[in-house]
Amino acid sequence: MIINGVSIDDTFAEAFPMKATRIIITAHNPKWAMISAQAMTGFATSVIACGCEAGIERILTPNETPDGRDGVSVLIFAMGGKGLAKQLETRAGQCVLTSPTSALFAGIEGEKQIPLGKNLRYFGDGFQTSKLIAGKRYWRIPVMDGEFLTEATTAQVGAIGGGNFLVLAESQAQALTACEAAIEVMRTITGVIMPFPGGVVRSGSKVGSKYKALMASTNDAFCPTLKGITNTQLSPEIESVMEIVIDGLTKTAIDEAMRVGIQAVCDLGADTGIQRISAGNYGGKLGPHHFHLREIMQ
């Protein structure tokens, strides 16, 4: 398959099951809602060492938030429910509770509930107050700028992590430009995040390593400087590869994010140095969810 001169590999991205939640952070104005969300989603690029993968899903208008203020919705993904709950609580406590004027709400419905402000309330040292409003429990925790309002729990849902595609270009600058174009449109899709810095990862990994202590190591088949000494997947003209990783609440959301992202890259055309689109395919070792590039782009 070739789109606008860009070759789409006959391959697939492998992804794996995760647990996820959505939360809504509101604040006095959009600036402070974003600051709080950025703090909460910091150091959350990969479950390999961060404990979770998190990102800003989208900016919310006052009409879309529970308290009628400006807000941001955040998605957090982890490999299991316990890990998710731990990361959520830690990050909410250290990054949202501490952020001026913030309030914190559940952003997703589901049967399985995990603590959001349920345990943060103890920061109130006995002065915290509970309110049960329209069937939902909230905690009002007195803080120095007024009150921190948080919903007691949020829902944990099944999700998918590790959807991805690779952009293979003739230069580093061209690969970066293409990825930036892809990320811009992918951020319009609801239910997905691209957790790496700016949505792009330059150090894609393979499963395993020659070093026993490491569970992942550099994806040497796509490293341009190793073309001559490894089982390379790169043709001679390709000098840079960048990857976009997608975590999503549903397979449909990831499909759509990959489709619009790949299309945005292809729209730039082969004339801009974009040669191929490929995907992280690890022979079935990584996960049960397969995203076939050519099926997605049909």
Q: Give the binding site for other proteins (CB under 8 A).
A: 26, 66-69, 103, 126-127, 129-134, 138, 140, 146-147, 149
Query: With respect to other proteins, which residue has the nearer C-beta, 153 or 275?
Result: 153
Distance in Å, CB of 149 to other proteins, minimum: 4
Distance in Å, CB of 140 to other proteins, minimum: 6
Distance in Å, CB of 135 to other proteins, minimum: 9
Distance in Å, CB of 183 to other proteins, minimum: 33
Contact 65, 26 (CB under 8 A): yes
Rg (Cα) of the chain, in Å, rounded? 21
The three-state (H, E, C) secondary structure of 155-215, written as one string: ECEEEEEEEEEEEEECCHHHHHHHHHHHHHHHCCCCCEECCCHHHCECCCEEECCCCCCCC
Distance in Å, CB of 168 to other proteins, minimum: 49
Distance of CA 194 to the CA centre of its chain: 4
CA dihedral sign, ordered 104, 105, 106, 107: negative
Between CA 56 and CA 73 the distance in angstroms is 6
Distance in Å, CB of 25 to other proteins, minimum: 12
Q: Phi-psi region for residue 199, left (φ > 0), alpha (ψ -120 to 50) or beta?
A: left
Read off the DSSP letter of residue 62.
Answer: G
Query: With respect to other proteins, which residue has the nearer C-beta, 28 or 58?
Result: 28
Query: With respect to other proteins, which residue has the nearer C-beta, 6 or 27?
Result: 27
Query: With respect to other proteins, which residue has the nearer C-beta, 49 or 133?
Result: 133
Contact 84, 52 (CB under 8 A): yes
Query: With respect to other proteins, which residue has the nearer C-beta, 3 or 35?
Result: 35
Query: With respect to other proteins, which residue has the nearer C-beta, 133 or 229?
Result: 133
Contact 88, 94 (CB under 8 A): no
Distance of CA 132 to the CA centre of its chain: 32
Distance in Å, CB of 141 to other proteins, minimum: 11
Query: With respect to other proteins, which residue has the nearer C-beta, 130 or 188?
Result: 130
